[in-house]
Amino acid sequence: MELEKYRVYSEMARGIRKAPLVFKNANVFYAHAGEFKKGDVAVADGMILGTGCYHGEEEIDLTGKYLCPGFVDSHLHLESTLVTPGELIRQAAQCGTTTFIVDPHESANVSGTDGIDYILEQTEDVPANVYVMMPSCVPATHVDDNGCILTAGKMKTYLENPRILGLGEVMDAVSVINGSVSMHEKLSLFQNRIRDGHAPFLAAGDLAAYVLAGIATDHECVDYEYAMEECRNGMQVLIREGSAARNLDAIVSGLVKHHTDTSGFCFCTDDKHIEDIRREGHINYNVRRSVELGLSPEQALQMATIQAAKCYGLTHLGAIAPGCQADLVVLEDLDTMKVRDVYHKGIRIVKDEKKEIRPCAPDLKNTVHLKSFDKKDLQLLHHGGKAHVLQMMEGQIVTRDIVEDVPFVEENGEKIFASDAVYQKIAVIERHKCTGKVGVGIVKGFGLQGGAIASSVSHDSHNLIVIGDNDHDMYLAVQELVRTQGGYTLVENGKVYDTLPLPVMGLMSDEGYEKVNDLLARMIPKAHAMGIKQGFDPFITLSFMALPVIPDIRVTPRGVYLVNEDRLLTSPFEK
């Protein structure tokens, strides 16, 4: 800071000169101390000058209201919201989230560095702080078929970008633990920066080896016990509450029950649809729900602000203190945590402000390419005996590998798997390089009847994924996604019920969140009416069934993958 400017600010901080903006009579949350205290907050040029008793050229009376630092989403994928990055940021910012730690590995898996550049460009001038973690696992594992490969060499050009904070979630834990040269090149590249983790259900020794590599965070904990194991190993636990993976209740209930120190915890959304953000909120929902579960408002707010900022080395954020950026949230009360106003750098965010959606390069809207795909590619021969079945879990993205007898019919002397009310077929079709690979498996617990559901959002390689109870409707669903160059679609009894086109890399719509919301409001209830259980977000849950870093069993274009055994089956009937 220039000396002359400091002298002016110093006079304002001491009350000798009026500050340009003062928030008066607020219940101010002091994140460092974890307490509320009534007073004023002085602001100049987007920076907090001081708290106490001030007069300003402009004064905003907040009598009876609560003034908090802007919230931090410690880990999210902008692509998973289905709208363009700028639209998502503007919607979530209205909920009080002013800082976003973004991992663009969805875009990178489809379009490589062009996808990363798209995320950076689209978030340059939004009313929030958007930082990016460099994707570490593109592809996620050795069994993936994605669009691009991101090496340590390609990452080097991004190191000087001030918005690149560190290395994104390291999903390939096996490569870390076994000392893979290519993986450790990436870890070394970011040795002086934050390195995010992705470590569900690692054994004690494996978890120790994983942390030993310098990985500092994880957002994959689904219960309190494993979260504490990570805490004991020195990791910062990012409690996830998204659209499909909802882990907050289990973890926070444990924190409350055991009176656990919460300093090792933050909040994140990971993957949350725009309609869920509009309906229930963003990080403010995590705060509110934690308080409902018994956590003190002060603890919940620290997890949403200062603790996340410290974790990512953002010392100018997460607190109302001299020198911090004036990112502020005005709450009506501490019970509902209702957000009244949000300020970014001292400027109030206008609710539902319309902004022109930035265009993207034409190549990013031409990413769904199949070889010769035929309905016969979906046929699943029954080889006799029991089959590995992907048991889906309501409210979770983890699955169970169960081995059971499954139904079949005989056609032309061959036994063929036949879907019924319990078991349906799942297929994943490679869509990047026209390899013609199609993996077919069996799911249980989803419940879809009378049609098919399909998506080009299929973590993290984003091939086409479809579940159905008959091959004809599954084939129609895949063809529909080729036509729209990506999206969500529902087919019922031989006809396309509706489709949400997602033409930007097969991940996002550039038609505006209103259209996305309208279509999802029509399609999601229809999917439930077709038998999908209420505990599932139909499309988000579907999108995780091909991700080979989440236990126990997945389906990839190469076949059924047993995660815990790192074993690929060309048929679910293999031993």
Short-list 216, 241, 240, CA closest to 230: 216
Same domain, 214 and 112: yes
Report the b/e string of 106-144 with b at 16+ CB within 10 A.
bbbbbbbbbbbbbbbebbeebbbbbbbbbbbbbbbbebb
501-560 confidence digits (pLDDT tens): 999 999 999 998 899 989 999 999 999 999 999 989 899 899 999 999 889 999 999 999
Q: Work out the average pLDDT over 34-53.
A: 98
Tokens of 328: 């502020």
Same domain, 289 and 389: no
Q: Which helix H or strand E contains 516, and what residues bound it?
A: helix 513-529
Q: pTM here? A: 0.91
Is 90 exceeded by the pLDDT of residue 270? yes
The rounded distance, in Å, linking the Cα atoms of 575 and 571 is: 9
Same domain, 137 and 194: yes
Domain termination site, one of 315, 348, 381: 315
Same domain, 411 and 298: no
pLDDT band (50, 70, 90) for residue 80: confident
Domain termination site, one of 315, 342, 372: 315
Total residues belonging to the chain: 575
Residue pair 253/241 in contact (Cβ under 8 Å)? The answer is: no
Query: Do the domain assignments include residue 521?
Result: yes
Query: Do the domain assignments include residue 155?
Result: yes
336-389 confidence digits (pLDDT tens): 999 999 999 999 999 887 777 888 999 999 999 998 899 999 999 998 889 999
Domain termination site, one of 279, 298, 315: 315
Query: Do the domain assignments include residue 520?
Result: yes
Same domain, 465 and 548: yes
Same domain, 232 and 170: yes
Q: Residue 245's pLDDT is what?
A: 82
Q: Residue 263's pLDDT is what?
A: 97
The rounded distance, in Å, linking the Cα atoms of 165 and 216 is: 13
The number of folded domains in the chain is 2
Is 90 exceeded by the pLDDT of residue 448? yes
Q: Residue 275's pLDDT is what?
A: 84
Query: Do the domain assignments include residue 420?
Result: yes
Same domain, 307 and 377: no
Same domain, 261 and 369: no
Same domain, 378 and 493: yes
The rounded distance, in Å, linking the Cα atoms of 401 and 380 is: 18
Same domain, 126 and 239: yes
Could you tell me whether strands 464-468 and 423-429 are parallel, antiparallel, or unpaired per DSSP bridges?
antiparallel
Q: Work out the average pLDDT over 22-38.
A: 98
Query: Do the domain assignments include residue 453?
Result: yes
Tokens of 264: 């090792």
Q: Work out the average pLDDT over 13-19.
A: 97
Q: Which residues, other chains included, contact 73 with Cβ-Cβ below 8 Å and sequence gap of 6+?
A: 92, 97, 99, 100, 101, 267, 268, 269, 282, 283
First-to-last C-alpha distance (Å) of the chain: 67
Query: Do the domain assignments include residue 534?
Result: yes
Sheet strands side by side (includes 97-102) = 71-76, 97-102, 129-134, 164-170, 194-197, 217-218, 236-240, 265-268
Is 80 exceeded by the pLDDT of residue 141? yes
**Considering the chain, what percentage of its residues have pLDDT values greater than 90?**
89
CATH classification of the domain holding 84: 3.20.20.140
Q: Residue 355's pLDDT is what?
A: 78
* 312 half-sphere exposure, CB direction, 13 A CA radius: 36
Q: Residue 432's pLDDT is what?
A: 97
Q: Residue 354's pLDDT is what?
A: 76
Tokens of 123: 């978030």
Residue pair 266/309 in contact (Cβ under 8 Å)? The answer is: no
Query: Do the domain assignments include residue 46?
Result: no
Helix-strand-coil percent breakdown of the chain, rounded to 5? 30, 30, 40
Average pLDDT of the chain, as a whole number: 95
Query: Do the domain assignments include residue 283?
Result: yes
Q: Residue 504's pLDDT is what?
A: 97
Same domain, 162 and 265: yes
Range of the domain at 479: 364-569
Q: Work out the average pLDDT over 25-31.
A: 98
Short-list 238, 159, 164, 160, CA closest to 197: 238
Please report which residue ranges of 47-127 form alpha helices under DSSP H: 85-93, 105-111, 113-122
Q: Work out the average pLDDT over 175-197.
A: 96
Residue pair 308/74 in contact (Cβ under 8 Å)? The answer is: yes
Is 80 exceeded by the pLDDT of residue 442? yes
Could you give phi then psi for residue 395, rounded to 5 degrees? 75, 5
Neighbours of 332 (CB within 10 A): 14
**Considering the chain, what percentage of its residues have pLDDT values greater than 70?**
100
Residue pair 146/109 in contact (Cβ under 8 Å)? The answer is: yes
Same domain, 303 and 381: no
